[in-house]
């Protein structure tokens, strides 16, 4: 038996049905292509896989892009968000809306933030300077939230301030939802935008920018080290910030100076910290090579001021007071040199911080030690003590014999044995 064949009357109908099916299929395919080739902002912000990688290297002076990979692709910033939190804090300090020693109240919302955190409790407070140090070293989310609430009234309003300021700086693809960088599908940025922010931090606040090179921070007697390993390992590196969440991957912004040329590098979405760091080294080296500059063979490290901030040795135009100096015992000398280089001299106590800084500057040019400014409260009055740590006993004695008002402080173990 032969199979049924369509009659002549059926052929036009079947052809029409086939054409309709083909056109419908074509529409579906075209619609699918539109969806996948032009994702909306909402889709892009919620569907970014953690292994998506972006990078950029720019010349900080000119803004010239030396290399890039997906520089305008939307990514999650993670704790790189704190760069903008600090930018707004630097602006507020400059405009005298807040002060270094102003107390930052800790709300239940701030205290409830997920780690990394200082473990702040509701109703307590920290100073603005302590909060900023906690951001650049431990990347403390509770401190970031509290600082944002201080400046914005609420973290939500502060995030709006962050976004508006970012757009004013030219970071048009960046949107903030919180002060810390904790996961939020609406909080996105790009490598190019973060490079622009880093450039503004360096150019707009050259003194405050040095905070990003802080190697460690003393909090309640505990030394908290900076998460950024390139500060110690890459020639000329002097900041900026690390970041990580599961969705964002391993992020890093680094600024380095070699041959009087500052480069800024951004890595977003690396699979691990070692991969992130090695990739940053590679793109910075490539950037310097394109400018015919070889990275310096020696990375001259910075030194801690009271374990809270850094300045190049013998140049301290803006020494920063040590955190909780009034309530903590004096910190042991940061450098333990051979032969008992663990003596301290106190140059004097001053009611004006700039006078204390001046005294430390003058002493640092004459004696090889680690300067520190302690801010303490004595009977309700703030005073500033200028000190030099890490001295040999003979050097400390000789210096104080030549300078009136200088006091010699023996090592802590000798004080405790009395």
Q: Which residues are catalytic?
A: 79, 82, 139
Q: In this structure, is the dihedral angle defined by the CA atoms of residues 198, 201, 203 and 204, taken in order, positive or negative?
A: positive
State the Cα–Cα distance between residues 328 and 222, nearest whole angstrom: 11
Residue with the two structure tokens 């909080």: 187
Residue 189: how many CB atoms within 10 A of its CB?
29
State the Cα–Cα distance between residues 167 and 160, nearest whole angstrom: 11
* Beta carbons of 48 and 70 less than 8 angstroms apart: no
State the Cα–Cα distance between residues 2 and 12, nearest whole angstrom: 22
* Beta carbons of 133 and 322 less than 8 angstroms apart: no
* Beta carbons of 388 and 369 less than 8 angstroms apart: yes
Q: Could you tell me if residue 31 is left (phi over 0), alpha (psi between -120 and 50 degrees) or otherwise beta?
A: alpha
Would you call 260 exposed, middle or buried from its count of C-beta atoms within 10 A (0-12, 13-18, 19+)?
exposed
Would you call 102 exposed, middle or buried from its count of C-beta atoms within 10 A (0-12, 13-18, 19+)?
middle
In 101-154, where do the E strands start and end? 103-105, 125-127
Helix (H) or strand (E) holding 376: strand 370-378
Partnered with residue 219 across adjacent β-strands are: 222
Mention every residue, 6+ apart, whose C-beta is less than 8 A from residue 185. 45, 46
Per the structure block, which two tokens stand in for 140? Answer: 């403390």
């Amino acid at each position: 038996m032969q199979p049924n064949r369509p009659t002549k009357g059926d052929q036009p109908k079947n052809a029409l049905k086939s054409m309709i099916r083909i056109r419908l299929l074509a529409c579906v395919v075209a619609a699918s292509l539109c969806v996948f080739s032009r994702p909306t902002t909402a889709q892009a912000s919620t569907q970014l896989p953690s292994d998506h990688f972006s990078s950029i290297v720019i010349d900080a002076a000119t803004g010239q892009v030396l290399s890039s990979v997906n520089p305008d692709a939307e990514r999650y910033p993670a704790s790189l968000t704190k760069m903008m939190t600090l930018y707004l804090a630097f602006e507020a300090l400059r405009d005298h809306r807040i002060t270094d020693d102003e107390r930052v109240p800790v709300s239940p919302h701030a205290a409830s933030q997920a780690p990394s955190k200082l473990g702040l409790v509701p109703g307590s407070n920290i100073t603005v300077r302590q909060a900023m140090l906690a951001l650049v070293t431990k990347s403390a989310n509770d401190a970031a939230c509290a600082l944002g609430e201080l400046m914005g009234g609420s973290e939500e309003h502060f995030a709006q301030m962050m976004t508006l300021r970012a757009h004013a700086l030219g970071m048009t693809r960046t949107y903030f939802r919180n002060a810390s960088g904790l996961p939020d599908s609406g909080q996105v940025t790009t490598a190019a935008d973060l490079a622009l922010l880093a450039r503004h931090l360096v150019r707009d606040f050259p003194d405050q920018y040095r905070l990003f090179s802080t190697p460690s921070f003393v909090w309640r007697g505990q030394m908290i080290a900076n998460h950024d390993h390139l500060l110690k390992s890459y020639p000329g590196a002097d900041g900026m910030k690390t970041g990580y969440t599961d969705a964002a991957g391993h992020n890093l912004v680094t600024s380095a100076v070699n041959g009087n040329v500052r480069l800024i590098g951004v890595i977003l979405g690396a699979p691990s910290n070692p991969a992130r760091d090695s990739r940053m080294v590679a793109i910075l080296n490539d950037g310097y090579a394109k400018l015919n500059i070889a990275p310096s063979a020696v990375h001259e490290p910075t030194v801690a001021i009271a374990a809270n901030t850094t300045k190049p040795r013998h140049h301290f135009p803006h020494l920063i007071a040590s955190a909780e100096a009034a309530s903590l015992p004096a910190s042991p000398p940061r450098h333990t040199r051979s032969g008992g280089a663990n003596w301290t001299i106190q140059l004097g106590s001053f009611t004006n911080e700039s006078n204390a800084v001046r005294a430390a500057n003058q002493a640092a040019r004459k004696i090889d030690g680690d300067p520190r400014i302690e801010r303490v409260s004595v009977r309700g009055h703030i005073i500033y003590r200028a000190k030099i740590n890490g001295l040999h006993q003979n050097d400390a004695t000789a210096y104080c014999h030549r300078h009136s008002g200088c006091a010699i402080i023996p090592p802590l173990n000798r004080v405790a044995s009395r």
